[in-house]
């Protein structure tokens, strides 16, 4: 899982609640990414950031928000607007240039109570 | 959309056999990467092949790329039970973004 940590490993959300997933990297990477994975499926990009204080929507950004105030941190908030949040969330980072490998964290499994 | 397909969706083989997984895509790529995911874990990078390369090796892994057919394959030779995992191809099409396929679930039986 390289130098990327995600916490918590499991997270429970109540109806109407916002929850925040943590992602930290010590690889000095410029780019960071958030993906969602549903059972038996591939990864879908939620948000990504190529530099501090800047981020872009991915393919499924609705109901999610992010911030990138520090190079090493890229937290993801799952808002109450996300009606089907149950999934496995993966954070990744890369040096940010074309053709770079992405390094993944261990993931956070979000469940709805 | 995932912009491509992987097949087979699932593959079950005996230890020692070779495993071949295929990945097709629809748009031009800068490079194509293969990743492995053990159940409930993050992804681990296996190999990257650039659009001007046709074949690449890493240990027991061999990746081919045919840009005219918009397809790639991953071959794992002399498979082991520890190779049991999901394998994903990921296309880099612009900037540093990757688009992942839906994966092939490989089971290697001892």
Segment B77-98, tens digit of pLDDT: 999 999 999 999 999 877 678 9
| Kind and range of the H or E run holding A56 | strand A54-57
- Which residues does chain A have within 8 Å of residue B96's beta carbon, measured at their own beta carbons? 31, 48, 50, 94, 96-98, 100
- Which residues does chain A have within 8 Å of residue B41's beta carbon, measured at their own beta carbons? 1, 106-107
Residue A2: pLDDT over 60: no
Task: For residue B85, give how far its alpha carbon lies from the nearest alpha carbon of chain A (Å).
Answer: 12
- Which residues does chain A have within 8 Å of residue B89's beta carbon, measured at their own beta carbons? none
Which residue in the block uniquely carries the two structure tokens 């990757």?
B98
Task: Give the three-state DSSP class for B4.
Answer: strand
Q: What size, in residues, is chain B?
A: 110
Which residue in the block uniquely carries the two structure tokens 């950031």?
A49
Residue B1: pLDDT over 50: no
Answer yes or no: do A107 and B103 touch at CB < 8 A: no
d(CA A35, CA A47): 7
Number of cross-chain residue pairs from A and B with Cβ atoms under 8 Å apart: 67
pLDDT of residue A98: 66
Task: For residue B3, give how far its alpha carbon lies from the nearest alpha carbon of chain A (Å).
Answer: 11
Q: Could you read off the pLDDT of A45-54 as tens digits, one per residue? A: 999 999 999 9
A106 pLDDT band, cuts 50/70/90, is: very high
d(CA B60, CA A65): 41
Instruction: Provide mean pLDDT across the span B56-80.
Output: 97
Portion of chain A with pLDDT greater than 90, in percent: 81
What is the dihedral angle through the alpha carbons of B10, B16, B17, B18, rounded to the nearest 10 degrees?
Answer: 80
pLDDT of residue A1: 47
Task: For residue B37, give how far its alpha carbon lies from the nearest alpha carbon of chain A (Å).
Answer: 10
At a CB cut-off of 8 Å and minimum separation 6, what does A99 contact?
B30, B31, B48, B50, B92
Burial A42-81 (b: 16+ CB within 10 A, else e): bbbbbbbbbeeeebeebeebeebbbebeebbebbbebeee
Which residue in the block uniquely carries the two structure tokens 């943590």?
A22
Task: Give the three-state DSSP class for B82.
Answer: helix
Nearest residue, CB atoms, A106 vs list B2, B42, B99 = B42
d(CA B49, CA B68): 15
Q: Nearest-CA neighbor of B64 among B97, B27, B24?
A: B24
């Amino acid at each position: 899982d390289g130098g990327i940590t995600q916490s918590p490993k499991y997270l429970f959300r109540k109806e109407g609640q916002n929850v925040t997933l943590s992602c930290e990297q010590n690889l000095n990477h410029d780019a960071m990414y958030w993906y969602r994975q549903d059972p038996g499926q591939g990864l879908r990009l939620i948000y990504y950031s190529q530099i501090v204080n800047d981020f872009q929507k991915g393919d499924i950004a609705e109901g999610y928000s992010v911030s990138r105030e520090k190079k090493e941190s890229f937290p993801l908030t799952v808002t109450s607007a996300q009606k089907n949040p149950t999934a496995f969330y993966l954070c990744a980072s890369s040096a940010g240039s074309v053709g770079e490998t992405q390094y993944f964290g261990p993931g956070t499994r979000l469940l709805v109570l | 959309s995932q912009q491509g397909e992987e097949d087979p969706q699932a593959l079950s083989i005996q230890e020692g056999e070779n495993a071949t997984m295929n990945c097709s895509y629809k748009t031009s790529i800068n490079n194509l990467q293969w990743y492995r995911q053990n159940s409930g874990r993050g992804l681990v990078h296996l190999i990257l092949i650039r659009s001007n390369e046709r074949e690449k090796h890493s240990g027991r892994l061999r990746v081919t790329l045919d840009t005219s057919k918009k397809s790639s394959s991953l071959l794992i030779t002399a498979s082991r039970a520890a190779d049991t995992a999901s394998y994903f191809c990921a296309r880099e099409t612009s900037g540093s973004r990757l688009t992942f396929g839906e994966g092939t679930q490989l089971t290697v039986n001892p």
